[in-house]
Amino acid sequence: MTMKTRRIGTTDLSVTEVAFGCASIGNLYRETSEAEAEAVLSRAWEAGIRYFDTAPHYGRGLSEMRLGRFLKSRPEAVVSTKVGRILSPAGSTIAEADGYVSPAQNDVRYDYSGDGLEESFEQSCERLGRTEIDILYVHDIGEYTHGAEGNRPHREAFLDTGYARLVRLREQGRIKAFGLGVNECEVCLDLMRNAGPIDVILLAGRLTLLDRSAEAELVPACTAAGTSLVLGGIFNSGILATGPVEGATYDYGPAPEEVLNQVAELQARSEALGVPLATAALHFAMQHPAAASVLLGTAKPASLTRNLDALATPTPRGLQALFG
């Protein structure tokens, strides 16, 4: 497929319409060798993808280090990473952490204050081998991750000093854009109202063929504010790729019966049009007018190729009715 670019917010930064999400090369759910990580990153590059998203959370820094090595000779790449988690050498051996197998041996703590965000940023620069990072997302702030009580001090820290520090980093030229990297709409609306303008939101799982909850308030708010949306989690943790099979996953856990039934209906409607469910999910995300870029993440070159081929397939007539 021919890779187009789209601008981020009101900035001068443009990203490819497909981005590569680097969670899997941080050993998400299974160990990925250095050669395998290199191979899938190379496949993304060969396909014309020039936007790569990572985070300290992905393998406790492993994903950032692997991406940094790969991009060392590719300065034209656009890179986003995330802040809010600070890593430090682990006090004991870590075999698995947050779904990541054999992660880098680091402990983690949350800090959304200005000093905390800047420390997280500087750590990421070191792991990525860069002095500047194109896009910085505040990662997993909000009740989805921390609960109502747990999030309260994080929100206060971000409003008190965190937001202003990100503005300063952008003014200094250390970053070109900043925003939020989250799984919920509510925190985006809250911080857009109470912190200030943001350039972009990486929204996981809330603007998909299955879950379109962002369309009610967040999409209109972003359109009005000139805030871009990068879409992650477009298969809702797997179920839009596998269909409503036994063991299907939704939102990082077993899919409840209600969701299985919804997906079964979507699958029947898409297959009636001669379109596999996964292909419909891909085209929904790519064709959504709010999407600046769509994240595809995998540790397998064949999986990435399959998804890119599906996107290159012309949208069958009638599929728009499924999106309506």
51 noted as active-site residue: no
Backbone angles phi, psi at 186, to 5 degrees: -60, -45
DSSP 195: T
Distance CA 309, CA 262 (A): 26
DSSP 280: H
Q: Is the dihedral of CA 110, 114, 119, 125 positive or negative?
A: positive
DSSP 130-167: -S-EEEEEEES-SHHHHHHHHHHHHHHHIIIIIHHHHH
Identify the active-site residue in 12, 51, 72, 82.
82
Distance CA 265, CA 261 (A): 6
Residues 6+ away with beta carbon under 8 Å from 102: 27, 31, 95, 96
The separation between CA 295 and the C-alpha centre of its own chain, rounded to angstroms, equals 6
Distance CA 203, CA 268 (A): 27
Residue 203 is encoded by which pair of tokens?
């929204």
Alpha helix positions (H), the chain: 34-46, 62-70, 114-128, 143-157, 163-171, 186-194, 218-225, 239-242, 257-272, 277-287, 301-312, 319-323
309 noted as active-site residue: no
Identify the active-site residue in 12, 29, 51, 58.
58
Q: Is the dihedral of CA 66, 1, 6, 73 positive or negative?
A: positive
72 noted as active-site residue: no
Cβ burial, residue 38 (10 Å; 0-12/13-18/19+): middle
Identify the active-site residue in 4, 12, 53, 98.
53
Best CA proximity match to 205, nearest among 275, 246, 255: 255
Residues acting as catalytic residues: 53, 58, 82
